[in-house]
């Protein structure tokens, strides 16, 4: 008999506890934004296509033929970084406690930029350096490959973070 009574009382209590705890989720990252992801995917394709067109190297004399493509890629990357960074950041008691704990330990707060924003800013800066080098002296195939490697690292970071937010 005590088992039946315990089961009858325990089930509703467990259900109530489950419902209560499921409502206690703490958001630690900004919300997923499909427009940022689709823009990032499109820009990644266009950026890698630009880099593929430069793979054999370039001459400074015909830089004007590529100038608009650089401007397009850099402008879109800057806009994507702005959009990604404009999302509201979660705030709550957990974030406040973390900030207080860091201050009590004499530590500074971590970089407030989202990983994808930082990565997009680095891709933009890398393409700006690529553009400036192309304008000044042209590019060798090895230089293009080096710039491409850096761009790939940062694009991967931005895409990975944004895809993670979709979960």
Per residue in 59-116, pLDDT (tens digit) is 999 999 999 999 999 999 999 999 998 887 766 676 677 677 777 877 766 555 688 9
91: number of Cβ within 10 Å: 10
Asked whether residue 137 is domain-assigned, the answer is: yes
Asked whether residue 2 is domain-assigned, the answer is: no
Domain that holds residue 87: 32-165
Q: What is the pLDDT of residues 144-154, one digit of tens each?
A: 999 999 999 99
**Calculated CA dihedral for residues 68, 74, 80, 83, nearest 10 degrees:** -100
Domain count, the chain: 1
Asked whether residue 10 is domain-assigned, the answer is: no
Asked whether residue 27 is domain-assigned, the answer is: no
């Amino acid at each position: 008999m005590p088992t039946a009574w315990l089961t009858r009382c325990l089930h509703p209590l467990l259900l109530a506890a489950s419902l209560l705890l499921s409502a206690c989720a703490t958001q630690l990252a900004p919300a997923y934004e499909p427009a940022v992801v689709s823009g990032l995917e499109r820009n990644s394709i266009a950026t890698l296509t630009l880099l593929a067109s430069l793979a054999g190297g370039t001459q400074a004399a015909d830089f004007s033929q590529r100038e608009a493509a650089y401007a397009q890629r850099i402008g879109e990357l800057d806009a994507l970084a702005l959009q990604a960074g404009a999302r509201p950041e979660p705030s709550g008691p957990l974030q406040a406690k973390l900030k207080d704990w860091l201050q009590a330990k004499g530590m500074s707060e971590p970089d407030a930029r989202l990983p994808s924003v930082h990565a997009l800013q680095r891709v933009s800066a890398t393409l700006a350096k690529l553009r400036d080098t192309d304008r000044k002296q042209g590019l060798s195939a090895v230089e293009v490959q080096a710039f491409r490697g850096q761009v790939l690292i940062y694009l991967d970071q931005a895409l990975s973070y944004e895809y993670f937010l979709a979960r």
